[in-house]
Structure 1
């Protein structure tokens, strides 16, 4: 080419517009979410009331926080089945610490979080050192905690005036400052559990999406062998994930205990399945098809709106699980079915 030749400006690469199928795939959960809000608002105008919407967020805050912990373990290619039992044990332990041992909120909360961290450490020991599969390790821990939490009170709930095994009566009470964790609101508008949910989601989103540790979590879940060969300490990464999951489950248990004000032996009955459902729905949010914390929060809100709307429409309680399952299957089938055909 001669020096006098004139270079023509290169044409910009054509922008590929997303197809309708791609838009539907990425927004399937949001479309269903908007559809539910519209249907419930038309059928029951009180549903769209701001106080009811805030109540929904408060009701799903615990599930979202626990589900975020499950999401971290999914990111490393594991799975934590013990989170519901950890949350329930935290409820019992926190109430026992205050009512029987006479501790205050500043002593109880760190002990409760340490309990979750300890359980996560035990899970990591079983999985990393003893090479027990994730599901079996956390399932055994779940059964262990489910039985252990009942032993100190002989299977009874913990409340003020609890009669102990030796026949004496516990003289302690729930610290009012502890109760404020589950019952107070920020500026009288936003319940504190919702604030905890938002802060947890923000912190974990930054951790998983914008830090080296988060990238290593996903790399471990994607290809553990390659990540190990690249120099990452897989044992340490898995330990971090399970300890974090245990502590988030304990945080959920603290909020439940602060809300109900007693140690109810059945307090964690549905937390495992609801938190797992939220984290799995999160895989379909925006078509990412990978564990992500913000998707888990959307999944928890999705379930919360569905159950709240069904309750306000006086749907029989025995049909709610079926309807919830049908909607969730539809959302996931729509997302993954379209992705498979595209």
Structure 2
């Protein structure tokens, strides 16, 4: 008996039309194209924009935003959202400055103290969200307000630098150690240390999240916590770990700011939340990821940095910059999710 093979027609959804394929490529690479156009446009209008010194300045300026964006990304991957990262960074900034100027600690104890403060804040958020089951937006918003007041108490709202008048009438005589300042100011092979720190941490987090079972469980927890728990994943532990990592990364951002400016500026973390969240959400559009991811967050931070640096060099009024950032965020998310609906 001879069997004859029948050729079945493919379902219409299995055949990609040229228009659909073009839309997919547009979504996948559009952000890179817009970034390239921005660089070309700013370079044409102001040749100094493309100079290596300015490009390194952009990377250095966006390093803290990228670091806090990674903090937001880790929390989002595990299904949470940390609104307290800006306040956490500011708290670490004030804590490290106080330890060095008032208590006269050395560079290493100060760094450990600052990072430990971020870990404690992450554990506190995990207690509220994971253990007490408070919605993450409400819990971390409460933490943000709590930290905003707490960081002002030790100095009565004053910025911290040598000569600070203390409550007992004495004057602080400590100074920022050169080894600590190197974290925000030094260069290695011509590259700013903050850029190298962010690059190394981003590579480590990317490898953990995208190439290990640990990362897959993180994504599974964020995608469907109940299903991950029924499959045997310790979701409580993973979500707690995510908030601890988020707090530690945010605290490191605050330490870099303190080392860069050489003082404990009480307003140092005021704009960090919006910029880092913006970088993270813009990253959803990178390579059509449509989810929190490390590469997208880095590209989003660079995108915002290029945009703001170019506008500044062109003398665009500073009060329009937040509007432009919001416009870019709306466009990026519309490009990612709007075209996705259009193709279906």
Q: Does 1:168 align with 2:170?
A: yes
Unaligned runs of 5+ in 2: 4-13
With 170-179 and 315-324 compared, the bigger mean Cα shift is at 315-324
After alignment, is 163-172 or 332-341 more displaced?
332-341
Whole-Å separation in 2 of the counterparts to 1:303 and 1:28: 15
Is the alpha carbon distance of 1:112 and 1:333 closer, same or farther for their aligned partners in structure 2, counting shifts above 3 Å? Answer: same
Quote the residue 2:249 is aligned against.
Answer: 248
Matches within 5 A, 1:76-95: 76-95=78-97
Question: TM-score if structure 1 supplies the norm length?
Answer: 0.94
Alignment partner of 1:125 out of 102, 124, 127: 127
* 1:163-312 paired onto structure 2 within 5 Å: 163-187=165-189, 189-312=190-313
Task: Report the alpha carbon displacement of residue 331 of structure 1 after superposing the two structures with TM.
Answer: 2.2
What does residue 339 of structure 2 align with? Answer: 338
8 Å Cα contact 2:114/2:255 also seen in 1 = yes
Report matched runs for 1:313-324 at 5 Å.
313-324=314-325
Q: Is the 8 A contact 2:87 2:148 kept in 1?
A: yes
Give the TM-score normalised by structure 2. Answer: 0.94
Paired residue secondary structure (2:171): coil
User: What's the counterpart of residue 22 of structure 1?
Assistant: 24
For the aligned residues, what is the CA RMSD?
A: 1.6
Shift of 1:312: 0.4
In structure 1, the residue corresponding to 2:263 is in which secondary structure? coil
Give the number of equivalent residue pairs: 332
| Aligned equivalent of 1:50 | 52
Deviation at 1:332, TM superposition (A): 2.0
Tell me how far 1:15 sits from its aligned partner: 10
**Match in the other structure for 1:8:** none
The CA distance in 2 between the partners of 1:333 and 1:128, in whole Å, is 32
2-side partners of 1:322 and 1:61: how far apart? 22
Match of residue 98 from structure 2: 96
1:138-186 deviation line (CA, Å, top 9, x unaligned) = 1111111100000000010000111100000112111111001100001
State how far apart, in whole Å, the 2-side matches of 1:330 and 1:235 are: 35
Deviations for 1:64-113, whole angstroms, at most 9, x for unmatched residues? 01110110110111100000000001110001000000100111001110
For residues 130-145 of structure 1, what are the structure 2 equivalents within 5 Å? 130-145=132-147
Q: 59-68 or 324-333, which moves further after superposition?
A: 324-333
> Structure 1: 5+ residue runs without aligned partners?
6-13
